[in-house]
Amino acid sequence: MIVGCFIYAGGMNLATISSYLTLWLGGQAGMDGFRLGYFALAARCVALGMVGWFGLGVLARRKSPGSAWLGRVRARPFLFVASLVLVVFGLQIAAILIPDQVIFRTPVRTMGGFLVMNLFAEPAAIVVILFLLILSAAKFGATRRKAPNGRSALVPLIALAGLLAAGCDRGQQTQAGSTQAATAASLSSTNQTQFEKCLSSWSAGNQDAAIQSVLDLNLRDSKLFSPGSALALSEAQFIALPPAARESLSPPMLADLASIKGLCRRLQEEGREAKARGDAAKATKCFGQIKLLGEQLDQPSVVLVGQLVGKALKKLAAKE
């Protein structure tokens, strides 16, 4: 059971890594976000299917006396478990670092299309898991007929099914508050926050003024976005909006995120230049504003693409 838990964790992490590596490779080739989403979804399903089939195969052959590989595992159980833990731990770290780096280096418009397709990742995982369980049922049925105690062959299948079914609920968000989301989305965005004014200044080409305004802002306590912005909504609220409302809110949201990424790159450059000339106070301020902005975006109350950009900003600030 413990080995099954580790295999499941490794499979989910490998699926995430495969998905974002597909995004990075496709982004380098200039593919659009929706097409990348399809390829990334396929890569996720393939990775999950391979790991799941491997795990089921191990369970099916666990009592086979002729299995040389399992014989070596039984001879060195502690080495096998330690190796498995290290592999899963490495995949966990990679599943955290790789998405952050890919997100920050991918155009926001491409990310938007990718994330739309990424919403189908959980249902696709369920389909792959059910497919594996159906295929493995015949194998376990044959094992049951040959086993002295027929029920013993079904125990791993039931345990694995319960484990995977529990894991499929991960990342699901409630749809409560859809009425409030629709109301917020209908509000006018003319009453911009101070941060939105900075973004407008940046987009208009007044980059020096925008940088100075951001440095003067209290990002810890101030509200970043007005109620009419998609970035003021959670992922559940955004999905609950009518399709026409989502289509109208998406372009300005992607434009704001693109401005945020450009502004933070400039802040990073300003901070490094200040550090090089001995101005520690300004360098600390620049890097600190990047971190605070990342923390503000990486909240459950922010739409998913905003959270991902926030995570990338926090990683960016942590490097300095």
Q: Encode the chain (320 residues) as per-residue pLDDT tens digits.
A: 566 676 667 777 887 888 888 878 887 777 777 677 778 778 877 877 777 777 666 666 655 555 565 566 666 667 767 777 788 888 888 877 777 677 767 776 676 667 666 665 556 656 666 666 666 555 555 555 555 444 444 444 444 444 444 444 443 333 334 444 344 444 434 578 999 999 999 989 899 999 999 999 998 888 899 888 899 999 888 888 888 888 888 888 888 988 998 999 999 999 999 999 999 999 999 999 999 999 999 999 998 888 888 988 998 888 87
pTM of the predicted model as reported, rounded to 2 decimal places? 0.56
Q: How much is the pLDDT for 225?
A: 92
Q: How much is the pLDDT for 44?
A: 78
What confidence tens digit (pLDDT) does each residue in 65-94 have? Answer: 555 655 666 666 677 677 777 888 888 888
Residues in the chain: 320
